[in-house]
Structure 1
Amino acid sequence: MGKRPHARRVNRQPTQKNTRRLAKRTARKRPMTRDPMVAKHWDERLTVRQNYARLGLAHRVNGVSGGMERSREVEEAASDPEDERVRKATFADPLLDGSLEDPFEMARRQLQLTGEEDLDEETLKKRLGPGRAMIKRDDQGNIIKVVMGTQVDSDDEDTLLPQVKARSKLVEEMERQVAEHVPFQRFLSPGEIDWAKKLIAKHGDNYQAMFRDMKLNKLQRTVSQIRRVCEQYLASTQA
C-alpha cells in the first residue's frame, strides 16, 4: 500500500522547517531612523507621528488627510458647527494639541506677515509657488485680481523663503549643521564648456534664442539651466 502524498513529501525533506516562525524568531528590530542626529532624540515608546510632532518636524508635507483620532469633545460637538468647542477641540494625542500647523497654513500665515500687498507681482508669484494662487478682493468682497504662482528658480529660493524660528532642539542642530556645511562647488565639464562657447558665439546673451535652438539645445535644457551654464563659463574665463 503506497504512502500518502504528504507523507512522501515529508520523507524526502525531513529537515524542512516553518520559515514563517523561524523568520519571526530570528528577526532583528531595525532602528526607525538611521540618522544619528534624529536617533539621539527619538523615543521608541512613541509612534512615528508622535515623534515627528515632538521633534518639530512635519510628518506629512501635504498636511493631514485623515486617520487621526479625535477627542470626545469633537464627537459630542460635531452636530453643532457653531459650538465653540468645535473650534477649541484638538486631537486626543497630547503631542498633537494643535501647536503644529498645516504646512500650507504656515506658508499662508508667513505670506501675511511679510506683507504680500506691498510686494510686486513677480515676487508674489514666485513666493506663492506653482499650483497656488492668491485672490485679491475689494472692500465689498468682489474679486479684483487673481495672482497665479509660478516656478521658482534655484537661484531665487534663498531670497524668497522667509526666516522661521526653530521649533525644537533637533531643528536647531540641523540648521546649525547646514550653516556649517561647505557648499559644493561644481565645475563645468569639457563638453559643457564647448557647448557654452557655441551658444554664446551664435546667440550672444539671448537665452531665449538658445532655448529655441534645437540643434544646439538637443537635450532641451530650460532657460535657467542654459543661463547657469553660460554664466559659470563666463565667470571662469574672467577669473
Structure 2
Amino acid sequence: MGRELQKRKNRAKVPKLKKKRKLLRNGDKKINVLGNQLIADNWNKNETLIQNYRRLGLTTRLNAPTGGVERPHGVDAVAADKLTSDSLHITGTTTAPNGNTLFDPEEVQVERDPETGKILRVISGHNQEEDDEIEVAGQKVKRSNPLSDPINDIENGVTSLHKKAGLGTSSTSASEFVRQLEMRALQEEEAVKKRRPRQQSKREEEWVEKLIARHGDNVLAMVRDRKLNPMQQSEGDIRRRVRIYKERRSA
C-alpha cells in the first residue's frame, strides 16, 4: 500500500518543497562569500575563490596549503613561489619573504591608557628619542620602523617581489581594497557606538520598583518571590535590571 501511495505522489503535479542545504557535501558550513557589498562589487566570476581573494589582498585560510599552489604566469619559478606564499598563512617557519627573521622576541615598554588599558604606544627602550633615531653616515636620521614591526619587513618584501614581477598595480589595488574594508569596519563600529542603548519600559520600571519596595537590595529574595517574579528571572538578570533602574533614577 505504501508503495502505491508513493507512486501516486511521484506522478502528482504538485511541486515538492525542497529545503535548502546549509551544508556542503563534505559537511562544512556553506558561506556566502558575496555577503559583503565591497567584495561583491569587485568579484570576478571567471576566477576561483582563492584567485579573487588573492587579487583583493585577502586570504581564504590561515593555515598554509599542504598541496600544490597555482603559479602566476609570466614569472620564473623562484619569484612565483614567493608570490604565492601568503604572509598571513601560519607555517612552521619564522622567516619573512625577504629572508629576515619574522619574530625576534624581546622585552619592550608600553604606554597604556589608564582608563581602558589599551596600548597607546610601544617604547622600544628606555630612551624614546634614541630608539626612534639611528646614525647613518655620521648623521642621525629617523628610523623607518621604530617599533621593529615584522609586518613592515613582510610588506617590503612582498612589494619588491611584485615590482620585479611587474605586478605593482595589482598590489596597489589590493591595498586600496583592504583600506576600504577597514574604513567600512570603522564606520560600522562608530554606528554601533552611537546606537541608543535599550531603555526600560514603564511596566518594567513599575515591576522593579515593586521588587525593591518589598525586598530592598536582597536580590536572592526577589528571585524566590513567586508572586512578583512568576517568570523566574535569574539572579543576574534581576540584578542588572535593578542596577539600570537605580542609575536612571539617580541621573
TM range (shorter): 0.3 to 0.5
Q: TM-score, normalised by structure 1?
A: 0.37
Q: TM-score, normalised by structure 2?
A: 0.36
